Amino acid sequence: MNALNRLTPVKGQNPVAGVGWMVLSGLCFVALTAVVKYMAADIPAAQSAFLRYAAGLIFVGPMLYSVRKERMDAQTLRAFGYRGLVHTQAVMMWFYAMTRIPLAEVSAMGYLSPIYVSIGAALFLGEALRLRRIFAIAVAILGALIILRPGLRELNSGHLAMLFTAMFFAVSYLLAKRVSDTASPTMVVSMLSITVTVGLAPFAYAVWEPVTGTEVLWFALIAAFATLGHYLMTFAFAAAPITVTQPVTALQLVWAVAIGAIFFAEPVDPWVILGGALVVSAVVFIAMREHRLRKEGRL
């Protein structure tokens, strides 16, 4: 009965709408990934990443206007700078991995970021690492080993890039948690867009190749998918509890496998699906467990 009560929506929430928003959010992120995969074949990774973030600055203008009077101390500004550096490296490696490994593997390994966050929060932010979370982390690591299968198949630089991508995204998230105490969410998003665009600029300049107007429009579409995906995810969180919306993220792996097979002729690897399912399950378990503990006032 208690479990049923925890899943019963509170007044003003709509679980069906929450699932719908999360499904649409996932479709946006998978569409983003597919477009990046399509574009990455002809443009260097650093340049692709720069064009994506530069196009995204279109959406930052209104944000900056709304936070123009917000003040930050020197420590917060340094944290924004560190986050920009880390996120810059993560984005470049993610774009690079897109050109080296299948979409399904990129998607599955991307779910390792929340696992790294859990470990980092325990090591650097003093959060408790309970037995159930340790078990979930172990399951995720097993899933990653099944995906990679070191010694049983040839690995390339794309796999290594994705491992570091997930790690750097986790560091970026931990820094975001820290600055969120002294800066508004709008400022956090705006500063990330600006610092990453600036950070990518010299790397893009070093490998720059001419681009067409059509390619620029494609990168504007990538930025639009990313922005819309985050907004839809916010709507999902507002409409339903995380115990309802978080499991829906597993569909992104299914869509990534399907798109990779249909549009990029990538073989469907059952080991990647199995390993990805383990990683996603661990992430969902951790998210749902933390949500429950937070509701009980134990976090």
pLDDT of residue 8: 40
Q: What is the mean pLDDT of residues 181-199?
A: 88
Q: What is the mean pLDDT of residues 139-146?
A: 95
Residue 187 lies in a domain: yes
If pLDDT is split at 50, 70 and 90, which confidence band does 297 have?
Answer: low
pLDDT of residue 40: 73
Tell me the whole-structure pTM to 2 decimals: 0.85
pLDDT at 58 over 80: yes
Q: What is the mean pLDDT of residues 282-292?
A: 83
Q: State pLDDT tens for residues 5-57.
A: 333 444 457 888 888 998 999 999 889 888 888 887 778 999 999 999 998 88
Rounded to whole angstroms, the Cα distance separating 235 from 110 reads 22
If pLDDT is split at 50, 70 and 90, which confidence band does 238 have?
Answer: confident
Closest CA to 51 of 259, 207, 160, 172: 207
Residue 3 lies in a domain: no
Rounded to whole angstroms, the Cα distance separating 83 from 71 reads 18
Rounded to whole angstroms, the Cα distance separating 62 from 109 reads 34
Q: Which of 202 and 219 is assigned the larger pLDDT?
A: 202
Residue 1 lies in a domain: no
Residue 75 lies in a domain: yes
Q: Which of 210 and 231 is assigned the larger pLDDT?
A: 210
Tokens of 203: 């790397």
Q: What is the mean pLDDT of residues 74-98?
A: 94
Residue 267 lies in a domain: yes
Phi, psi of 125 (to 5 degrees): -110, 0
pLDDT at 228 over 50: yes
Q: Which of 40 and 283 is assigned the larger pLDDT?
A: 283
Total of domains in the chain: 1
Residue 6 lies in a domain: no
Rounded to whole angstroms, the Cα distance separating 14 from 34 reads 30
Residue 152 lies in a domain: yes
Alpha-carbon torsion (179, 185, 186, 189), positive or negative: positive
pLDDT at 144 over 80: yes
Q: Which of 242 and 7 is assigned the larger pLDDT?
A: 242
Q: Which domain holds residue 202?
A: 13-295
Evaluate whether 222 touches 58 at the Cβ level (below 8 Å).
no
Residue 181 lies in a domain: yes
